[in-house]
Structure 1
């Protein structure tokens, strides 16, 4: 066993009648004993089909309490969890299920029937305490020649979790997080947030993300605390979920905070439940919240906003504002992380000097699964983000060297969206850029040149938005379509995205109908 699995097993062995896992949708709590029984059922189901050490397990589930025991069961048998969005397009999901990379997949009910009709795929279901019926898809082509599961001893350096972070080229980078990285990341999160067994975290961010998996779920498991899991964020239910779940903190993105400030139902619900709310803080990440919105939120809802900075490659966070000394507008101080800035090829830590953020630590990857040496310098990870440190050592993130779009906490690769839109016959050329969005940070904007005489701009916009509904995950779909006659190009004929963005901002161009 590893430090991670040992800690998770021990946590379930103590005070087994304690409620530790709640379905925020219906308010039902599950005890450590029920949690442990589900872990054993899931383990036995996979081992009986000869799934074991080193196998990759595909997960395409919306947020649900079953996620927690499923992750532990996968890690205990030495397998690797591979969670993806439950809004993954059908074609992509079919391709994954049909490949020989995953001997088993856990999917939503609506996916199970059509996918089980694929050649070589067998469907079964399992009944658990945390879910009445969970579909399981077995890849018989992979499993047919197995007589027993691989029971190789699990090492700290073995993979436990694979997540994708999109690069600007459109080709996703596979981030492999080991047992050791997960454990270290969660321990650092626990210590920096000062969470204990008395705390309860509300999870509403997608559970195929590092934020929910490590920042929230694993942190609270290693703190001996409780977790309440919602399917997704709901402004009209947020404060009732916080109150009824006795939630003491939650991880959010600035978009959520903005919506709570604007939503009338949210405001009224807070007033109804405020005597039952015991929030210590809301932990915000992704992009900086404007100063006025941050102070307005803290004043209106009487809670602390704790801003930090991290990413998938660092098993959640690198910096966090100290609870006793937060500095508004900053991403806080490095915690269990070495951090320097690269300026003109040199590493510096002088104050007020803007450079590329570089980090290292016992929770930071040393390479991607598909080796990518340009993202590393010696033992430092180059984040691609720009920032500076002030005289007190607080980090201020200024933007991204890369062209990634950050929408409500999701990262969108422009090239991936462009590749999809270029399939449309009436498009001459398209460039995907991020335009300012007060609510979501950035809007995924399709700046488009149409082929002469092919279609009208209003019809083209309608077709673009409709086409991407079936080709892209929801967060990747363009929310704005702007039509132009030409792009600013460099000497090699490539679109100069910063200049394009600047010109659109200067002209105050909105979506053109």
Structure 2
């Protein structure tokens, strides 16, 4: 870590920060987050802002004051206005407080995308607790390990996950946040309750912080890392203290107030969590589904006419496969398709722009740095593989192993600085490297002469084959554009001849092009595009790639390579 405590840089940073705050008023004003309102709404907004700042609980109070009768949520349970949403969040906070949940206690949420997640999010902020977002895609062993490590004081859990908890689970009180059938409560074990009953039986007295002059503790949200290589770590997220985090995103993505937004990305993940906060700030009608289905998503677009769809790349690919032609679905309302979570294959970028028009925005980021760069439709039309540029208030730097900046075009380690960097992991000794207030993302990449970022891959994914540095993602990008390849993943493996070599895992399309794919054919194709070190030593054909809940391939779940010859699995 390097620091500079001399007065000049400190003054420069303060001046830059003040200038960015002023510039940040523009995007949130254009989007409608800030705007004129009547005296009553202004009073309620000021009250919420004073007590909860720009936390989701504060943003909800502002939205309920400005647009009480506007629909806030449409989910599998029906619809809910902002006034109703705000009242239910208050009731849940009171019920938690009545159950002896105090500031600094930790509340866990193991939930799909539905109102229960959002109610828990806003209730926690009004109490000053910490919130731990558990991964619905994790194994029972991983989930119980995280619950023990995070020392939860209360747990909200959907019915479909209750079997994960051992029969003698007694670490903390439990409430079922979603019941498949509210007439059948057999999953609610003795001593448990449900979120619905908590809200229904909440005491009438208010909770700490309700008085005008009292401000509860600013709790933390703990988001788990992807866990693609082991037990997920908890990353402590700061709470926004100003409009700048929203302004950074809105400076690059044209979001607008009071428009329907389909939140398909998993809410427990950094991207999905951010989309919920942005949507509440915009007083959007948030459309949620507990389970993603491409055909259902297309029906949502036709029935609810969303202005924005927030998703991850695998969801986008499935939607394109479900409706490949423009006339298949009326998507004229769509102005923004915002994707994040993993790289979008080049052919998916091109098909999206052709199918839906210039509406695709690809955000690169991580649990630790939130957002890093954003590529808009013009960037992606010109350079489909770019990760874009840093938005307002964000610093990007490419550095070598010694921490020195490298010239444009040279691959190095990616460092990001913004107002929402994580505050360290809950597990000691695992924190990311920080240089000049910027956090290392763990990725390698380069910036071209136009200022666009390109991500080459994870630091630990790069292999050395025959003395050459090789990035598996380059081969992935080439293979993903080949007819017959539905999706693919490329990883490094030990090799007796070259030290390391690439292994390709390929899912074929259900047509003649897919049936015609062979290991040798794939090798010959890659040879025409890249160096010989990028050519996969082995190809393993799969029915599907093992992915986590946000669409990232889980390397440890891929079959072991068989040897030096191509194989079919």
What does 1:243-258 align with in structure 2 at a 5 Å threshold? 243-258=302-317
Residue matched to 2:252? 192
Residue number in structure 2 paired with 1:391: 449
Contact kept? 1:190, 1:219, Cα under 8 Å: no
Residues 363-391 of structure 1: CA deviation (Å, up to 9, x unaligned): 11253333445522342211121111111
The equivalent of 1:484 in structure 2 is 562
Q: Which residue of 2 aligns with 1:426?
A: none
Match of 1:202 in 2: 262
Cα deviation code 1:238-266 (max 9, x no counterpart): 21112222211222333223223333xx3
- Which residue of 64, 67, 88 maps to 1:15? 67
Q: CA offsets, 1:442-461, max 9 Å, x none?
A: xxxxxxxxxxxxxxxxxxx9
How does 1:340-489 map onto structure 2 within 5 Å?
340-348=397-405, 350-369=407-426, 370-372=428-430, 375-403=433-461, 435-437=504-506, 476=554, 480-484=558-562
Query: Is the Cα–Cα contact under 8 Å of residues 311 and 339 in structure 2 kept in the other structure?
Result: yes
Greater Cα shift, 41-50 or 90-99: 90-99
Q: Which of 73, 95, 107 is the matching residue for 1:57?
A: 107
Q: Aligned-pair distance for 1:57?
A: 0.5
Q: CA deviation at 1:483?
A: 5.0
* Offset of residue 39 of structure 1: 0.3
Asked whether the equivalents of residues 116 and 123 of structure 1 are also in contact (C-alpha less than 8 Å), the reply is: no
Unaligned runs of at least 5 residues, structure 1 = 141-147, 415-430, 441-460, 486-503
- Alignment partner, residue 282 of structure 1: 337
Aligned-pair Cα RMSD in Å:
4.2
| Local SS of the residue matching 2:83 | helix
Please give the alpha-carbon distance, in whole angstroms, between the structure 1 residues aligned to 2:227 and 2:188: 32
Q: Does 1:338 pair with 2:388?
A: no
The residue matched to 1:205 in structure 2 has which SS?
A: coil
Aligned partners of 1:176, 1:85: CA distance in 2, in Å? 15
1:455-492 deviation digits (Å, cap 9, x = unpaired): xxxxxx9xxx9xx99xxx9975866424536xxxxxxx
1:118 aligns with 2:169: yes
Question: What per-residue deviation string (whole Å, max 9, x for no partner) do you get for residues 176-218 of structure 1?
Answer: 012137975344223432312143221122221011101x111
Report if the CA contact (8 A) 2:108-2:155 is conserved. yes
Q: Deviations over 1:60-107 (max 9, x none)?
A: 112212211220111111111111122433344455557781121001
Q: TM-score, normalised by structure 1?
A: 0.70
Of 62-71 and 5-14, more deviation after overlay is shown by 5-14
Pair 1:176–1:324, CA change in 2 (3 A): same
Q: Which residue of 1 aligns with 2:90?
A: 40
Query: Which residue in the other structure is 2:350 paired with?
Result: 295
SS at match of 2:131: strand
Q: Alpha-carbon deviation of 1:117?
A: 4.8
Q: 1:255 to 1:337 in 2, by over 3 A?
A: same
State the match for 2:365 in structure 1.
310
Q: Describe the SS at the equivalent of 2:240.
A: helix
Q: Does 1:105 find its partner at 2:155? A: yes
Deviation (angstroms), 1:18: 0.6
| In structure 2, C-alpha distance between the alignment counterparts of 1:226 and 1:136, rounded to whole Å | 34
Residues 104 and 139 in structure 1, CA contact (< 8 A), matched pair in contact too: no
SS of the equivalent of 1:289 reads: coil
Question: Which residue number corresponds to residue 295 of structure 2?
Answer: 236
Instruction: For residue 368 of structure 2, give the secondary structure of its aligned residue in structure 1.
Output: helix
- What is the Cα deviation at residue 119 of structure 1? 4.1
Counterpart residue number, 1:227: 286
1:163 Cα offset (Å): 1.2
Asked if 2 retains the 8 angstrom alpha-carbon contact of 1:126 and 1:135, the reply is: no
Contact persistence 1:338–1:359 (CA under 8 A): yes
Structure 2: distance between partners of 1:383 and 1:82 = 22
Structure 2: state its 5+ residue gaps.
1-50, 194-205, 463-471, 477-488, 492-499, 510-539
